[in-house]
Structure 1
Amino acid sequence: MPNDLTKMTGAAALIAILAGAPALAQDMTQMDTDQSGTVSEEEFTTGYAANLSGMETWDTDGSGSVSEDEWATGAASAGSATGNMAWDEQDFASADADRSGDLNPEEFAAVLFLIYDTDQSGDLSADEYSTYSEEQDAMSGDDQG
C-alpha cells in the first residue's frame, strides 16, 4: 500500500508538473533567442528556468530544489506517462553538478535538455523541440498539438 501511495503521489505530481504546459513548452522561437533555428542548452536552460512552474511541482517539499527522492518519483512518472525511456536513464548524481544533494533550477533544466537532445548535438532541433513540447502537453493532458 505505501508503494501504491508513492506511485499515486508521483503520478499526481507529474500531472500537476506540467499543468501549465504552455508556459513550460514555450514556442521554440521564444527560446531560440539567437534565431539560429535550434535551441542551445544555454537558451533552453535560461528559458526553462524563467518558468519554474514545472520544477516547483516536482519540488514537493517546497525547498526550491528537487531532492533525489523527488527526482526519482517524478522521473519514473514522466517515463511512464510519455513512454520516453530516456527518463529512466538519467542519473541523479550526474545531474547534481554542484554536488549539493539537490537539483537547482539550472541543473533541473539541464537534465530536461539532455533527455530531449537525442542526437547529442548540443542543440535542440525543431524535431527535438517538437518532441519536448508534445511530451509536455501529453503529461499535462493538453493533446491539442
Structure 2
Amino acid sequence: MLLHGASDGFLCRALLTTLTGAARDWYSRLKSNSIDTFEEFGEDLVRHFMSSRRPRKTAASLMAMRQGDDEPLKAFVGRFNREALQVQNLEPSATTNAILAGAKSNEFRRAVTRRNPLFLADLMAGVEEYISVEETLAALNSNQRRA
C-alpha cells in the first residue's frame, strides 16, 4: 500500500483488519483524530505493547541453563537446543561451553571435550552419540536387573 501511495488514514484503517485480541481492543479505544500519521500510529502501538515483548535470548542465558537432577541428558539437550535457536549469531564455542557447563555428567564433559568440536554440527553429533550410548547402557542394565 505504501508503494501505491495510500494515505496515512487509509493505512491506519487497513491495519485494523490485521489486528486481533488486545491489539484490536487498544485500536478500538483510540480517540478519533488522535493520531496524525501512520508512523505515529506504529510508534504508539509499539510503545503500548512494549512491556509484552519477550527479552532476547543471549549466550549468557544459555550459560545459566542447568540439567535438572532427575532430567535425562536427552531432555536437557532438547531444552538447550530450543533456547539456543532463539539466540542470534551464536558462536559455536559459546554453545559448547554452555552445554558443558550445564550438563551434570563429568563423563559427558570428557566425551565432548575429547571430540573438540569446531562446529555446532560436530558438537551435536557427539552429544547424540553419547546419548545413544547412555540409553543403550541403561536399557541393558534394566534388562539385567529383570533377569
Q: TM-score, normalised by structure 1?
A: 0.34
Q: Highest CA radius of gyration, 1 or 2?
A: 2
Q: TM-score, normalised by structure 2?
A: 0.34
Greater RCO, 1 or 2 (C-alpha within 8 Å, sep 6+): 1
